[in-house]
Structure 1
Amino acid sequence: MNRRRCATAAITLVCALTVLASPGQAFAAPEPPPARPGALKDPFKDVPKKSLEEVRLEIEALYRKAASATDAYNLAKEQAERQSAEIVRLAQEIVKGQARIDALKNRAGAAARAQYRDGGLPPEAQLMLTSDPQLFLDGAGRIREGQKATRDLLGELSRTQADLASYTKDASAQWQKLEANRVKQEKAKKEINTQLAAAKKIEDRLQKEELERLVALEQQAEYKAQTAWLSSGVLKEINGRASVQGKRAVHFATAQLGKPYVWGAEGPESFDCSGLTSQAWAAAGKGIPRTSQEQWRLLPHIDIKDMRPGDLIIYHADASHVGMYLGDGAIVHAPRPGRNVTITGAGSMAILGVVRPDK
């Protein structure tokens, strides 16, 4: 109940915010450089001024692109870690397989040396030279056993060699995948840094007052979206109760309030959006995919009306963001770089759908 009051209070606080600047607030273009002798045209003369709302949307688009790239980075990293572990396992199997082959070859060599000590004659020929019937019968039984043992030995040697070749081939394939995912990681990392640098460059050109108005515009946009979502009457149908694991996940996620967003982070000091949700459910004893896109792809989907605390709400058409539902129309999430883990309205962003880790 305290957590529900906390969530409701947070939403009420957002709703109470007043707009500090209208969307038409002008954002000044950069100061033109000093004129150079012989210059034909001022390169900044025709640059149109942007409203602060246009700047907000531009920054939001850059952070969205960074979020998508972060998901790609996290997925490539997760796959690379699995492939590294598989390569280690295959290497261990290769070592054991080679040791087994060496042991089998030693047994085969021992049998060959024993035959040489017996004059080089095969057991069948030695048996034919005996004149004792009982000895002949006993020897025939031993020969059959020896022949079976030889066939078993050769069969095991053949299978072990085939396994060894398969392990080697699999290890080579996993290594190629590992290298491909490392390339994907580097590409995604470069894309993340490019988008974040572009967003920071825009924000650095804003004055303190403009930054404050920008935050107010962000809150206004979230409030408008949340109000529209609540006005649809959706909360009238949402009355699910959290599962035991769901309560644990919510407890973990809300304990991280105030910690900064850092792309690729999984705690304990910072998180990205899916790092928070995956670690919250890990703390509840349920492993789930690392990225929001994989959470959307692999976890069971449920209707919004059936939503309960602990469920994950996936946002945007590309599933690039995720938050954890708390109840009372609120989520806890790690928003973006420059922001901290916080509580906000579940309808403050474009909802793609809802997934349930413990269904």
Structure 2
Amino acid sequence: MGLTSGGPLALVIVLGALLFGGTVVCWPRLASRGPRFVAGRVVLLTATQCAVLTAVCLAANQTFGFYAGWADLFGRESARGVVVDHDTAGGGGPRGPVQVVSTGRIEVPGGERPQIGGRLQKVEIVGRRTHLVTPAYVYLPPEYFQPGHRARAFPVAVVLTGYPGTAEALVKGLRYPQTAHALAAGGRMRPMILVMLRPTVAPPRDTECVDVPGGPQAETFFAEDLPYAVSRHYRAAGGPRGWGVIGDSTGGYCALKLAIHHPGTYAAGAGLSPYYRAPVDPTTGDLFHGDEELRSGADLVWYLEHRPAPDTSLLVTSSRRGEGNYRETLRFIELVRDRKPTRISSIILGSGGHNFNTWRREIPAALRWMSGRIADG
């Protein structure tokens, strides 16, 4: 059973309830002062509290999608699956850069029909240059399957989680496909392909979308491998005007960085609760190996102050109360305003913490913004 499934949580809740009941029943028998009785009380209280704490942690993981399984939790995720591609809609073929694992419906009215609900594919993406392999979900809008749009190349929004995060959390927790479906059905945004994945392309390491010297080439994966793979397999728009990238937290930093560093690939980048420079901590390891140019380039403020302004559109979000990046975001907006042709927009909430509830309030407006800045091929 995976950590995001309901089985482990239900099991721990039942165990906690049994331990609580056992504590209530046995407590009078353990009321004496002898060492054996004291030890019994300690064991019962400790076991009950551990069960409650585990249930809380599992519930939080299920809500926010931090870890997909036990190997992911303990940093031992390394196995690569052998995938047989049963999809016939794309052109990648069984040995192509996109390997389709499964195809399912979107939880919307009429979602059993692709022409009405679109489709959600679980895939593995293979990097042509970097040889990185990462799981992802791809949302194909209803128009992708409609006869009148067979020749249409759709714009693409790459959607990134925070760290550690799981791609599944973008579907179940943040509900990107359902939101995009509702907005497009209401005429509030153009239909687009969503490619949803985590920025952690070399788990468990947090690479911060950096080309690590002698290590994972994460930035190259997102700037080159991912667009190549998706464009070869799906009817995706070509050229820089057809692609955007959006993410939250670490994914928000990566989204801004990719749009700033690679305006020839991404016409727009939206950072929900982003930060603006790559941290170095135990989860990242040494990202730069003494390369000061690489370190400086990972600081978006430094980059915009010292490099030619890129022709791209940026969106940043924060909250006056609850977000730690509020003042830094205001300074970033002021900086970009003076760096033409770079364009800057923002969403500033009155209050909202660094969490899914805040991002769900921002995602509809961010997707509409993205829709206005990327185009069909």
Q: Shorter-chain TM-score: what band? A: under 0.3
Greater helix proportion? 1
Higher relative contact order (CA 8 A, sep 6+): 1
> Which structure has the greater CA radius of gyration?
1
Q: Tell me the TM-score normalized by structure 2.
A: 0.25
Greater strand proportion? 2
Q: Tell me the TM-score normalized by structure 1.
A: 0.26
